Amino acid sequence: MNRFFLMAASVLMMLLIYSCQPVEKSADSSFDLQLTEQEKEGGIMSPEILWKFRRMGNIIASPDGKTVLFTLTDYNLENENIRTNIFSIPSAGGEKVQLTDTGGSSPSWIMNGKKIAYRSGGHLWTMNPDGSSRKKIANMDDFEIYSVSPEGDMIYFTRRVKLDETPNEKHDMPLANMRIIDDLMFRHWDNWHDYSYSHIFIASFDGNTVSGEKDIMEGQRFESPTSPWFDASEICWGPEGKKIAYTSKHLIGKDAAVSTNTDIFVYSIDEGSTVNISKSNKGFDHYPVFSPDGSKIAWQSQEEEGYESDLERLFIYDFDESSLTNPSEGWDYNIENICWAEDMIYFSSPYLGTAQVFSIDPASGEITQISDGKYNFSPSAVTNGDIIAGIQSMSMPTEVATIDAGTGEMDIITSVNKHISDNIKMGETEEEYIKTKDGKDLQMWIIYPPDFDPSKEYPALLYCKGGPQGMLGQSWSYRWNYQMMAANGYIVVAPNRRGNSGFGSGWREQISGDYGGKNMQDYLDAIDYMAKKPFIDKERLGAVGASYGGYSVFYLAGIHEGRFKALISHCGMFNIESWYGSTEELWFPNKDIGGPYWEDPEPAGYEYSPHLNVDKWTAPILIIVGEHDYRIPYTQSLEAFTAAQMNDVPSKLLFFHDETHFVTSPQNAVIWQREFFEWLDTYLKND
For 89, other C-beta atoms within 10 Å of its C-beta total 18
Q: Looking at 62, 309, 629, 637, which residue is catalytic?
A: 629
Is residue 215 within 8 Å of 274, Cβ to Cβ? no
3-state secondary structure string across 560-573:
CCCCCCEEEEECCC
Query: What are 87's strand-pairing partners?
Result: 70, 98
Q: Looking at 286, 560, 611, 661, which residue is catalytic?
A: 661
Closest to 141 measured CA to CA, from 86, 88, 203: 203
Q: Looking at 547, 552, 569, 609, which residue is catalytic?
A: 547
Instruction: Find the helix or strand (DSSP H, E) in which 636 lies.
Output: helix 635-646
- Ranges of beta strands (E only) in 560-650 are 566-570, 621-626
Instruction: Find the helix or strand (DSSP H, E) in which 391 lies.
Output: strand 386-393
Is residue 243 within 8 Å of 269, Cβ to Cβ? yes
Measure the CA–CA gap between 97 and 379, rounded to whole angstroms.
22
Is residue 484 within 8 Å of 433, Cβ to Cβ? no
Half-sphere exposure of 396 (CA within 13 A, CB side): 19
Measure the CA–CA gap between 635 and 409, rounded to whole angstroms.
50
24-29-30-32 Cα dihedral, nearest 10 degrees: 100
Measure the CA–CA gap between 389 and 581, rounded to whole angstroms.
41
Phi, psi of 629 (to 5 degrees): -90, 110
Residue 228: cis peptide before it, omega within 30 degrees of 0:
yes
CA 36 to chain CA mean position, Å: 31
Cα first-last separation, the chain: 43
For 271, other C-beta atoms within 10 Å of its C-beta total 10
The C-alpha R_g of the chain, in whole angstroms, comes to: 25
Q: Is 153 helix (H, G, I), strand (E, B) or coil?
A: coil
CA 367 to chain CA mean position, Å: 25
Phi, psi of 401 (to 5 degrees): -125, 150
Phi, psi of 402 (to 5 degrees): -115, 140
Measure the CA–CA gap between 92 and 77, rounded to whole angstroms.
34
Q: Which residues contact 73 (CB under 8 A, 6 or more apart)?
A: 22, 54, 55, 57, 82, 83, 84
Strand 429-435 to strand 396-404: parallel, antiparallel, or no bridges (unpaired)?
unpaired
Half-sphere exposure of 281 (CA within 13 A, CB side): 30
Measure the CA–CA gap between 435 and 439, rounded to whole angstroms.
5
**CA 680, 681, 682 angle in degrees (round to 5)?**
90
Is residue 661 annotated as a catalytic residue, yes or no?
yes
Residues labelled as active-site residues:
547, 629, 661
